[in-house]
Amino acid sequence: MPHPGELPWDLQYDAAQFVAIPFLDPADAEGADTWVGEALGRYGIHPDTAPEAVEQIVATARMMLGNSRPGAARLWFAPPGIYSDLLVSVAVESSADRPRTEELFAEATSSTAVDVTPLRTETHGIGYIVRWGVLVDEEAEQGGTLVAQWTVLLNDGTWTILMDVLGTTLPAFLLLEQQLPQLILGIGVPDAVAR
């Protein structure tokens, strides 16, 4: 996650469930290696005992570092005891010039999303969560890989919160669903941060 003060809003999250993904200069190989090593330490896996697991986690960690998004906080959903490749991006933007949630629902049809669920919060207004998936490498021997994506959009009339979750580890999505309400509560929009 960027240094405090780089984003005009705040994000509190459960460090036992999420790992902040730092914004590193692509040329900072030492910083990347250090962070990847910390990720391995989190899983408690050693190269000599589980080389395939280490290879998988290293590849996932490097993929996470490579998905930079200006103006967004990025988290790796990495709950204890389960492998996860879920990348969570959170952004807060002004609601000016954005369509109202009702207008977005009017455009959401079965052809644009597999599942659209309305959301109503006490702190961040109303919105929805859209869940869908795409099968990639359908021609592969195992029949391809399902890449799932969830998008959460909330609008309180002043600020819009956009959260994107992308990954292939479907059991981890079930655990993430339990964490979503708390993660949403942990988003401090600029007016709330200034108080």
- Residue 158 tokens read as 């002043």
Residue 1 pLDDT greater than 60, yes or no:
no
Q: What is the pLDDT of residues 99-113, one digit of tens each?
A: 665 565 555 554 445
Distance CA 93, CA 161 (A): 7
Residue 46 pLDDT greater than 90, yes or no:
no
SS3 per residue for 180-192: HHHHHHCEECHHH
Spatial contact of 64 and 76, defined as CB atoms under 8 Å apart: yes
User: Which residue type occupies 139?
Assistant: E
Q: What percent of the chain has pLDDT over 70?
A: 82
Q: Please name the residue that has the structure tokens 């709330």.
A: 192
Q: pLDDT value at position 104?
A: 58
Domains of the chain, by residue range, sit at 82-194
DSSP 95-118: -TTPPPHHHHHHH--TTT-SEEEE
Q: Map residue 158 onto helix, strand or coil.
A: coil
Q: What is the pLDDT of residues 14-37, one digit of tens each?
A: 999 999 998 888 889 999 999 998
Distance CA 73, CA 93 (A): 12
Distance CA 1, CA 189 (A): 16
Name the phi and psi angles at 45, rounded to 5.
-110, 135
* CA 85 to centroid of chain Cα atoms: 10
Q: Please name the residue that has the structure tokens 């807060």.
A: 92
Neighbours of 39 (CB within 10 A): 21
Q: What is the pLDDT of residues 152-194, one digit of tens each?
A: 999 998 999 999 999 999 999 999 999 999 999 999 988 755 5
Neighbours of 17 (CB within 10 A): 19
